[in-house]
Structure 1
Amino acid sequence: MRSVYEAFLDSVGAAPGNAFLAVPPAPGRRYHPDGLELSYGEAHAAVEALKTAYGEAGYGPGHRVAVLLENRPDHFLHSLALNGLGVSVVPINPDYRDDEALYLLEHSEAALVVSVPERADDMRRVAAGRAMPLPVVEAGAAPGILAGLLPAAATPAGRAVPDLATEASLLYTSGTTGRPKGCILTNDYHLTAGRWYAGLGGLLTIRPGEDRIYNPLPIFHMNAGVVSFVCMLLTRNCLISPDRFHPATWWDDVAATGATIIHYLGVVPPMLLNQPPTRAERAHRVRVGLGAGVEPELHGAFEVRFGFPLVEVWGMTETGRIFADNHEPRQIDTRAFGRPHDDFQARVVDDSGQEAPAGEPGELLVRADADDPRRGFFAGYLKNEAATEEAWQGGWFHTGDIVRQGADGMLYFVDRKKNIIRRSGENIAAAEIEATLQAHDAVRQVAVIAAPDELREEEVMACIVPMAGETPDAALAERLFAWCVERLAYFKTPGWILFVETLPTTGTQKVQKTQIFPPGEDPRQRPGALDYRDRKRRRKRA
């Protein structure tokens, strides 16, 4: 198979009546309030109609189409149709503010935007700010339908036949230099990721035609949008996509949709454990959960209460493949996440690049194998060859994660090396928030750090030196918080703001973040720290 589309056709031909995409019921939701389930055959009809429409409008190889289709089945239907034409899909985070979305549209050189109806005006406003005109079209009320005619492509499509090396999607991931980097993901990447998940075995054995994955994670991330989706497609199984994680209705949704596998992030287990016991929490068919970041002290309690194992994994957008602690005996009282494989090798190195002794922390480096290290990985960062080559120094991909490896090969997560804040599964670049705050005329200097958070793993904390003449009080904090709200996705805005007189710097005036607070001090407890966590909310949509 040369593409995800061809793999889809193979499954359609073999099992047209199997369930493919599902949405749990949610009274009052803007779309499919009673729920929805599409078979492979039904999805095929919708995909072919879309493929014809895009093809007749001139879209093909060399084009990218940006999509803001939230966690709806439309995302996958449009993606498959475009993949069949050799068009790359660029998912848009629905929580992006205008400036963030404009950057994505400009940097990706998207030829078209496809949006859910409720967000189309937002996208038109953003697209109007592009240097070159960019049309915006709406997805229809029914899956696989476009509202109105597609505008003709502004540039001619290439003539290449889509194959494994063809770019299938462009996913943006936070980097350490401010703006997100665009990860080029080929058909080979997508198919490798799906096959890898399907072949993990052990507790994560996938049963062809029998499994249904309930994945509440954002489709614009590789977990839901690539790994679980392509795995289900290849094994003729069903992917269930709620609009987002809802702890109060989680078990009702899981039971109603017949889920056999669930995906989670570290924030999910404690929130479910905090819910009052219900009959629904054991009236389900789930046999295993897959995710990352569950606190070891909660791992066993979750399994005992809800009746199935949680398998901890590790992966990145750039890798596609994942490590998994999926064979008994699992080490649930640690942060173990699996062992290297023949086709997904790992090294743990110290600061000098030498092998770290067993049990000692070091940076995790990964590759496919020595003969073809990048096989199945991302194809590179768009318009940033220097960053791509830096990440692949020495023929290994440098993950920026600090781990330790036991004598038996087991890998254990320790911390992140990069200047990244991990909040409820979102990787947030501190540099991007610093750049936003630094642009305010009341800010002289700023350092953004990760503050611990019992619920969300980490929270954004901004340590700010005000300009001379500015009063470092709650009124100034309000102005700066509002400034961020208008320019950043809600999860990136500071959850804590602390005014300081100075920030420690090196001789070259680089802020030394590790010296802002003494070792062991909780920065949240510093006098004057202002808590904005309850103010961080998604914008309400009409």
Structure 2
Amino acid sequence: MTTVYNEFLKTGSKVSSQAFLHIPRQAAGEYHDGPVDYTYEQALRAADVLSEQYAGAGYGRGLRVAVMLDNRAEFFLHLLALNKLGVSVVPVNSGFLPREIAYVINHSDACLVLCLPCHRDKVRTALAGQDTDIPVTDTESMTRLPPCGGTAQPGAPDKDTEVAVLYTSGTTGTPKGCMLSNEYFTCMGEWYAGIDGYCRLAYGEERMLTPLPLVHMNALCSMMAMIMSGGCIIQLDRFHASNWWETVRESGATCLHYLGVIPAILLNQSETEHDNVGPQVKFGFGAGVDPKHLQRFEERFGFPLVEGWAMTETGTYVCITANKEPRHIGTRCIGKAPESVEYRLVDEQGNDVARGEPGELLIRARGDNPRKGFFSGYYKNPEETARVWEGGYFHTGDVVRVSEDGSFHFVDRRKNIIRRSGENIAAVEVENVLFQHPAVANCAVTPVYDETRGEEVGACIILTESLKARFADDRDTAETLFGFCAEHLVYYKVPAWYLFVTEMPMTASQKLQRGEIKALANRLVEEGRCIDLRTRKRRKKNVAV
């Protein structure tokens, strides 16, 4: 095992003049005239210059730099530069609200914030009034880099050195910082470079397109796949349905990553004589496609969508992937467990379930190191790290079943998380905002099925009796609560469905019966007995973008 930088150096020595990064003109249009391209040699040279600047300012092993670099070339170059020194990056989503930006930066104990010039005021606003003196600089000020205020650790970076801290939504509503090591990243790259079946990568030949954000593990997986196979990353700023296929063709993509929402949107477009891109694209890799869309998509566009399962915490060393037949299309099949995996399926009491019955997936690496390729833990949260590893297996919170031929089929999430268009949304976080409004006496936030986004945010609400008269009707109430939530949450977390009830399903100990509430919400949506504000939510997104 080596570092990410050393793996890049190794690959660069073999394919120095080949393309490493391509940002198509459609994705770079807001800040660059034409596409952005780097060969392995060019990227290495740029990263080395940046690394010298960081080292000269005192940054070194064991420190962290928070980065708000969007899906631009700067992200890759600074990650490589910092990894060379053993400095960890903390990616920050520029779409976050100020309080969310401040939380990630402060909680991570970053000693520097590096951002694009266009985000400098946003970061400073987020940190204003905070009890912090973290310096903020931008990518055009590297020659004037603030001197490091932390103390670097002695020694060279190794497999256990931290590469990044990714913040994921937690069931408590507070984002958790997943510490990811060099071993985590190199295992991820080795897994992808060595996979066979539909996802086989030809060394030095592949061009992998991804529209996914670099603050997420999925996009970083694409990066490692290409670094370890001598391929080229085609990084988009985000998913654009209107020019998607044009970008795929022009970029020469041979494979791509997706979220379940993308095939649904593309299938809604008018058919053309150019739909079949099978001769160019070998496969798409992702998760969450609606079962009824999978076969239609493959028949129309000419390449397989390979569904898989992984988490930020697990990495891909234990990834379960439907990269070989039988894929059992239409059954939410995610493939068979590889030889590197040991697993259990358990009920809510922790007992193993019978073959074919659904149970929570508990998983670990086979062999002497059951945590190989996994995250190193949650930063500042050893209790939660111990909890998810209770009994020697990682508790995923995902419920699956295994069929007679050993294929895994996704059933549901046991954790109180809503998965909307690939974003994990903690129900508790949204509930905490709703509870701040005086008209809300009680509430439960739950996933509601959505054909396009997989799941949408729904809110079951009991109103404060004395305040009901303030509102003209349920729609007026819903509009008011929507506006309130939009002031406190990033747009995709705001409830789109509002269900007003007089009582909530509760256990004998007066805890919310989440499963019953989810069933109730989806039934009321189907019956048209709730307020639908999805259109307003889409307008809110467009304003945010």
TM bin, normalised by shorter chain, reads over 0.9
Is the contact made by 2:28 and 2:36 (CA closer than 8 Å) also made in structure 1?
no
For residue 132 of structure 1, report the CA deviation from its aligned partner. Answer: 1.4
Q: Tell me by how many angstroms 1:304 deviates.
A: 1.3
Correspondent of 2:231 among 223, 231, 237:
237
- 1:96 partner amino acid: F
CA distance in 1, matches of 2:411, 2:338: 20
After superposition, the Cα gap between the structure-2 partners of 1:514 and 1:343, relative to the gap in structure 1 and judged at 3 Å, is closer
Q: Is 472-481 or 86-95 further displaced after alignment?
A: 472-481
Match of 1:496 in 2: 497
TM-score, normalised via structure 1 length: 0.94
* Shift in Å, 1:74: 1.1
Give 1:296 deviation, angstroms: 2.3
Amino acid in the other structure paired with 2:168:
T
Give, in whole Å, the separation in 2 of the partners of 1:251 and 1:277.
12
What root-mean-square deviation, in Å, do the aligned CA atoms of Structure 1 and Structure 2 show? 2.0
User: Alignment partner for residue 269 of structure 1, among 259, 263, 272?
Assistant: 263
How many angstroms apart in 2 are the aligned matches of 1:541 and 1:336?
35
Aligned partners of 1:368, 1:28: CA distance in 2, in Å? 40
Task: Name the counterpart of 1:105.
Answer: 105
Displacement of 1:197 in angstroms is 1.2
One-letter code of the match for 2:305?
L
Structure 2: gaps (5+ residues) = none
Q: Deviations over 1:103-140 (max 9, x none)?
A: 11121111111112222211111122431112221224
Aligned residue identity for 1:538: K
Deviation of 1:85 (Å): 1.0
In structure 2, the CA distance between the partners of 1:180 and 1:357, relative to structure 1 (3 Å rule), is same
Change (3 A) 1:400 1:517: closer
**Aligned equivalents of 1:22 and 1:279: distance in 2?**
27
Contact 2:458 2:521 (8 Å CA) reproduced: no
Higher share of residues assigned helix = 2
Deviation of 1:390 (Å): 0.9
The SS at the match of 1:176 is coil
- Aligned twin of 2:445: 448
TM-score scaled by structure 2? 0.94
Task: Write out per-residue CA displacement over residues 502-536 of structure 1, whole angstroms, 9 at most, x where no aligned residue.
Answer: 33334543222334476695232466622221222
Structure 2 residue aligned with 1:143: none
Question: 1:24 is matched with which residue?
Answer: 24
Shift of 1:384: 0.9
Pair 1:247-2:241 in alignment: yes
- AA at the equivalent of 2:494: T
Separation in structure 2 between the aligned mates of residue 517 and residue 221 of structure 1, nearest angstrom: 27
* 1:397-416 matches, cutoff 5 A: 397-416=394-413
The separation in 1 between residues aligned to 2:207 and 2:481, in whole angstroms, is 45
Change (3 A) 1:292 1:33: farther
Match of 2:429 in 1: 432
Once structures 1 and 2 are overlaid, which stretch shifts more, 55-64 or 182-191? 55-64
Tell me which of 323, 330, 340 is aligned to 1:343: 340
Q: What is the CA-CA distance between 1:11 and the residue it aligns to?
A: 1.4
Q: Is contact 1:124-1:135 (8 Å) kept?
A: no
C-alpha distance after superposition, 1:62-84 (max 9, x if no partner): 21111111111211111111111
* Structure 1 residue 540, shift from structure 2 partner: 4.3
1:145-156 correspondence runs (5 A):
146=141, 149-156=144-151
CA distance in structure 2 between the partners assigned to 1:381 and 1:277 by the alignment? 46
Alpha-carbon separation, structure 2, partners of 1:59 and 1:399: 35
* Amino acid in structure 1 at the alignment position of 2:110: A
Residue in structure 1 matched with residue 464 of structure 2 by the alignment: 467
Correspondence for 1:385: 382
Partner of residue 311, structure 1: 306
For residues 96 and 33 of structure 2, the distance between their equivalents in structure 1, rounded to whole angstroms, comes to 25
Query: Offset of 1:241 from its aligned partner?
Result: 0.7
| Number of residues of Structure 1 aligned to a counterpart in Structure 2 | 536
| 2:41 counterpart letter in structure 1 | G
Separation of aligned partners in 2, 1:466 and 1:148: 57
SS in 2 for 1:470: helix
Residue in 2 that maps onto 1:66:
66
Gaps in structure 1 of 5+ consecutive residues: 141-145
DSSP 3-state at the match of 2:399? strand
**Does the 8 Å CA contact 2:460/2:521 hold for their aligned counterparts?**
no
